A and B are shown apart, each in its own frame.
Chain A
Amino acid sequence: MASEVLTSAEYIRHHLQNLTYGRLPDGSMGIAHSAEQAKAMGFWAVNLDTLGVSILLGVLVLFLFRLVAKSATSAVPSGGQNFVEWIVEFVDNSVRGSFSGRNALVAPLALTIFAWIFLMNLMDLIPVDWVPHLAKALGVPFFRVVPTTDPNATFGMALSVFALVVYFSVKVKGVGGFVGELTLQPFGKYGLPANLFLEGVNLIAKPVSLALRLFGNMYAGEMIFILIALMFGSGMGLAAFGGVLQWAWAVFHILIITLQAFIFMTLTIVYMDMAHQEHH
């Protein structure tokens, strides 16, 4: 749906720009109206769309879960309770299968991750033009509705998981145990620099791969939706073909969004399990 005044490059850039709030070049606080302005804001700016949508979705899903949890009975479950129980049991089975330690945090953590990321990914199935156009009509210059295509969101979650992993590693093994794990293997104490390098990479790779995997998948998926949407502005034949493609990609994407949410959850469980294991 690229209009005459917009080139394809501008269209794509527009769709990939977050609604950023921060200090403008003239010193006042406000919303960036271009990518350059957003970049100039530096670190101390927030993406209102990412935070807004993710908080909204998180509150929504937790509210629904809470509703069910409050009225949960051991009698024959109603439809809603049945559905939530199904998810909870699925997560619980995953935790039981991968996590051998004892920690009351891990299962709710996994449930939150799975439900939240799934919903955030699900926003990808909203046709790419709807939300930006609606935002434009309301006077908002940019709006990206899929929080997981913003690396801030995925790194935010991955670093939180990483913090939990480090915290529980130290709590279970003690500072000495954690440092020892980093420095005394696999080559013994005389290979300390090599050990530190290998284990350091190993440790850092966890949050980075966790965040980049989710971000990469969702970003690429959104990019393909945007490229397909470009076809709508170039003639009837291409537009019809684009419609078919978009439908097909959306169907395929249902698998990807579920899979990515599941992978993020499973890896979190596995990392937490590794944090609780005394020996390698």
Chain B
Amino acid sequence: MNINATLIGQSITFFLFVWFCMKFVWPPIMQALSERKQQIADGLAAGERGKHELELAGKRATSELQQARQKAGDIVAQAEKRASQLIDEAKSAAKIEADRVMSAAQASVEQEVVRAREALRSQVAALAVAGAEKILRREIDSKAHAALLADIQNEL
């Protein structure tokens, strides 16, 4: 309980400890701490940057998708237009062809009719001549009435 030289010894010890702590303990630990702080800050910044980039990429993807969709729409519209154009062309070509076929058919029918009429006419004439011949065989000489028969043939 007496104050004695322990006081001085304790003071010297104290200063030695403080000096040792200041020289060999504090700086390395603080350096490690500040380095780790820096690393953590860097890591966080990198994370933030990554997030930002992800956001940008998402935006880019969306706009690209929109563009693609637009393009696809354009292509479809064009295709539809082209298809309807093709159909129209086909339709008009078909119509022309049909007209052609029909007029050809009509022409041939008319021709046929004319031919049939000719045939009929000649057959009727022949029939008439045959009938007349049968009737007139007994009465009329065919040579005498040839002009008359030709007349009838022409009228038919």
Chosen A-B contacts, 7 in total, with CB atoms closer than 8 Å, are: A46-B6, A46-B9, A65-B21, A68-B29, A116-B17, A155-B7, A156-B11
Which of B33-41, B51-59, B139-147 contacts its partner? Answer: B33-41
A16 touches B10 (CB 8 A): no
Residue in contact with B18 in the complex, picked from A45, A69, A105, CB distance below 8 Å: A105
A74 touches B35 (CB 8 A): yes
Instruction: Give bound CA distance, A153 to B2, whole Å.
Output: 11
The answer to whether residues A54 and B28 also contact, given A38-B2, A74-B39, A112-B21 and a CB cut-off of 8 A, is no
Interface band, chain B: 20 to 34
Asked if B31 lies at the interface with its beta carbon under 8 angstroms from chain A, I say yes
Closest chain-A Cβ to B116's Cβ sits at a distance in Å of: 112
Q: Which residues of B contact A85 (CB under 8 A)?
A: 29, 32-33
Query: A73-B32, A111-B21 known; A22 and B4 CB under 8 Å?
Result: yes
Q: Which A residues touch B13, using CB under 8 A? A: 51, 54-55, 58, 156
Indicate if the CB atoms of B6 and A109 lie closer than 8 Å. no
B22 to A, closest residue via Cβ: A108
Distance from B47 Cβ to chain A, minimum over Cβ atoms (Å): 17
B33 near A88: Cβ-Cβ < 8 Å: yes
**CB <8 Å contact, A70 and B17:** no
A72-B29, A160-B14 in contact; A51/B21 too (CB < 8 A)?
no
Is A20 a contact of B4 with CB atoms below 8 Å? yes
Give the number of chain A interface residues (Cβ < 8 Å). Answer: 56
Question: B24 to A47, Cβ gap below 8 A?
Answer: no
- Contacting pair B3 A108 (CB below 8 A): no
- Quick check: A150 and B31 within 8 Å, CB to CB? no
- Assembled-state Cα–Cα distance A271/B6 (Å): 24
Does A107 sit within 8 A of B, measured CB to CB?
yes
Using a CB–CB cutoff of 8 Å, the interface residues on chain A facing chain B are: 16-18, 20, 22, 35, 38-39, 41-47, 50-51, 54-55, 58, 62, 65-66, 68-70, 72-75, 77, 81, 84-85, 88-89, 92, 104-105, 107-109, 111-112, 116, 147, 150-153, 155-157, 159-160, 163
Q: Are A157 and B14 in contact (CB under 8 A)?
A: yes
Q: Does B5 contact A (CB under 8 A)?
A: yes
Q: B4–A47 contact, CB under 8 A? A: yes
Contact A157 B4 (CB under 8 A): no
A46/B30 in contact, CB under 8 A: no
In the assembled complex, the CB of B12 is this many whole angstroms from the nearest CB of chain A, namely 9
A157 to chain B, nearest CB (A): 5
CA distance A35 to B33 in the complex (A): 50
Is B135 an interface residue when CB atoms closer than 8 A count as contact?
no
- Is there an interface contact between B29 and A156, defined as CB atoms closer than 8 Å? no
Contact of B30 among A22, A35, A66, A88 (CB under 8 A): A88
Q: Is B25 an interface residue (CB 8 A)?
A: yes
A64 to B1, CA, bound (A): 31
CA–CA, A222 to B17, complex, Å?
Answer: 26
